[in-house]
Amino acid sequence: MTAQLGYWKIRGLAAPIRMLLHYCDVPFEDVQYEQDDPPGLSSAAWFDKKLALGLVLPNLPYYIDDRGKFVQSLAIMRYIAARYGARGGSDLGHDDPQVDMMAHAAMDLRNAFTNCSYGSRSTEDVDRAVAQDIMPQLSAWDRVMASGRPFCTGDRLSYADFFLAEHIDQIRLVLPRAVQRHSALLAYADRFFSLEKIQVFMRTPLYMKWPVNNKNSFIGAKPAV
């Protein structure tokens, strides 16, 4: 069977998985659920299917292949790295606890960005979330990358880099001022997105620059005007 990745028709949590699958040369169907436009913003495209897919804990993203039905982004990425990393990606770190640690720390950053995106009701809310929740994490990551390592755990690219670099890129698109002084982190994201296979990915229909977030978000559904 052809594997299926299910997610909203946005970058969100699926973009790093789409990139990782492409990087590991895994053919898959990119199943996209689209939220309705305002004012309805109905999510029925997903909720009508949610309980019919045989997922134990239904969620988006999900990944279905000949070995199982999976949810939880980082578990999906670790599984893909374990199954295909040695083939197309020269390992990708599924059995290295340092890689898992970095991936989960990157998820903390992603969650702060998501809370800011969907939880804000004003630009003051955004500024507060950036100062309190996002900036401290960006600064910590900038210090990590300023050590001169090419990737987040050292010299070797891992599945954690797909998640971290993708979310640095999402944040720099949506909140450019938050990240502009973190030069080591920006250089890291540039390094990742310059990888030959990632460049190829960006020329496929699987790549999308926008929307980063869904239509019910305060920021990130479309470029700021």
Q: How far is the CB of 36 from ligand GSH (least distance, A)?
A: 14
Query: Between 44 and 200, whose beta carbon lies closer to ligand GSH?
Result: 44
Among 5, 6, 11, 13, binds ligand GSH (CB under 6 A): 13
Query: Between 60 and 219, whose beta carbon lies closer to ligand GSH?
Result: 60
The rounded distance, in Å, linking the Cα atoms of 107 and 73 is 9
Q: What angle do CA 82, 86, 87 make, to 5 degrees?
A: 115
Determine if 60 is a binding residue for ligand GSH (CB under 6 A): yes
Residues near 167 by Cβ (< 8 Å), separated by ≥ 6? 16, 106, 109, 110, 113
Query: Between 13 and 109, whose beta carbon lies closer to ligand GSH?
Result: 13
Task: Give buried/exposed letters for 74-93 (b at 16+ CB in 10 A, else e).
Answer: bebbbbbbeebbeeebebbb
Q: How far is the CB of 73 from ligand GSH (least distance, A)?
A: 4
Classify strands 3-8 and 28-33 as parallel, antiparallel or unpaired. parallel
Determine if 73 is a binding residue for ligand GSH (CB under 6 A): yes
Number of H helices, E strands in the chain: 10, 4
Stretch that binds ligand GSH, among 57-65, 161-169, 170-178, 196-204 (CB under 6 A): 57-65
Cα dihedral 137, 140, 142, 145 in deg (nearest 10): -130
Q: What Å distances lie between residue 84 and 70, 92, 155, CA to CA?
A: 16, 9, 20
Stretch that binds ligand GSH, among 59-67, 94-102, 154-162, 191-199 (CB under 6 A): 59-67
Determine if 59 is a binding residue for ligand GSH (CB under 6 A): yes
Determine if 61 is a binding residue for ligand GSH (CB under 6 A): yes
How many residues bind ligand GSH, per CB under 6 A?
A: 8
Stretch that binds ligand GSH, among 55-63, 132-140, 146-154, 195-203 (CB under 6 A): 55-63
Residues at the interface with ligand GSH (CB under 6 A): 12-13, 50, 59-61, 72-73
